[in-house]
Structure 1
Amino acid sequence: MGPVSGTTHQIWIEAGGGHDVVRADAIVMLRLDEAGRLTAQLRDDAKVSVTLLEGSSGARPPEDFHRRLIQTVARLADSGGAQLVRPRHEGGVWSWTSEPV
């Protein structure tokens, strides 16, 4: 995911189970590994990576879950106000939800 211009500075993504948040426009790459762990590489000289979603063997997100995050951020870029995006796993279904900050 390359940096997205526009109002993405107002879109924040929950990281590390809710303990941290990352600005969407700071992300330059997303990686979803075999265990379902979703990491984001941040745009900086140190190539810092942040875990957005811990992997697990029992409730692995779908293969395109990182792409769904990109779609959610793109959709929210047109909305006004700051938004927080977080992963949800309910009833066996994974989704990205958003709410005003």
Structure 2
Amino acid sequence: MSVTVPQVWVEAGGGHDMVRADAIVMLRLDETGRLTAQLRDDAKVSVTLLKGSSGTHPPEDFHRQLIRAVAELADSSGAQLVRARHKGGAWRWVSEPL
């Protein structure tokens, strides 16, 4: 019996790249608001998911919010895309079907 696991993708670096969530092994949110993900591979490649800025920084637990969003979407049907959005002075993760 085959089980189909839905894929969850995370937007990286402003929308031109996407990373499969199950390839991420570590997240780091630094003091500038830059969120990077280390990928599961031998080269220990890191990808910027959210660029830091001098403007409004995401909340200190924004990387944890991403983990929660991915976990919730893992139970959904079909492939999903998760992206960071800043609107009305607040940061949040939004998702959409691919």
Place the TM-score, normalised by the shorter chain, in its bin: over 0.9
1:57, distance to aligned residue in structure 2 (A): 1.7
Identity %: 78
RMSD of equivalent CA atoms: 1.1
Which of 5, 8, 14 aligns to 1:7? It is: 5
Distance, in Å, in 1 between the alignment partners of 2:30 and 2:16 is 21
Which of 51, 60, 64 aligns to 1:54? It is: 51
The aligned runs of 1:1-101 (5 Å cut-off) are 7=5, 10-101=7-98
TM-score (normalised: structure 2): 0.94
1:89, distance to aligned residue in structure 2 (A): 0.3
In structure 1, runs of 5+ residues without a counterpart are 1-5
Task: Find runs of 4+ consecutive structure 1 residues off by over 3 angstroms.
Answer: none
- Secondary structure of 1:84's counterpart equals strand
1:7, distance to aligned residue in structure 2 (A): 2.8
- Secondary structure of 2:52's counterpart equals coil
Distance, in Å, in 1 between the alignment partners of 2:55 and 2:86 is 12
In structure 2, runs of 5+ residues without a counterpart are none
Distance, in Å, in 2 between the alignment partners of 1:96 and 1:7 is 21
Distance, in Å, in 2 between the alignment partners of 1:83 and 1:7 is 12
Distance, in Å, in 1 between the alignment partners of 2:93 and 2:33 is 15
Alignment-mate amino acid for residue 87 of structure 1: A
- Secondary structure of 1:13's counterpart equals strand
Aligned length, in residue pairs: 95
TM-score (normalised: structure 1): 0.91
Deviations 1:49-94 (A, max 9, x none): 0000000121100000000000000000000000000000000010
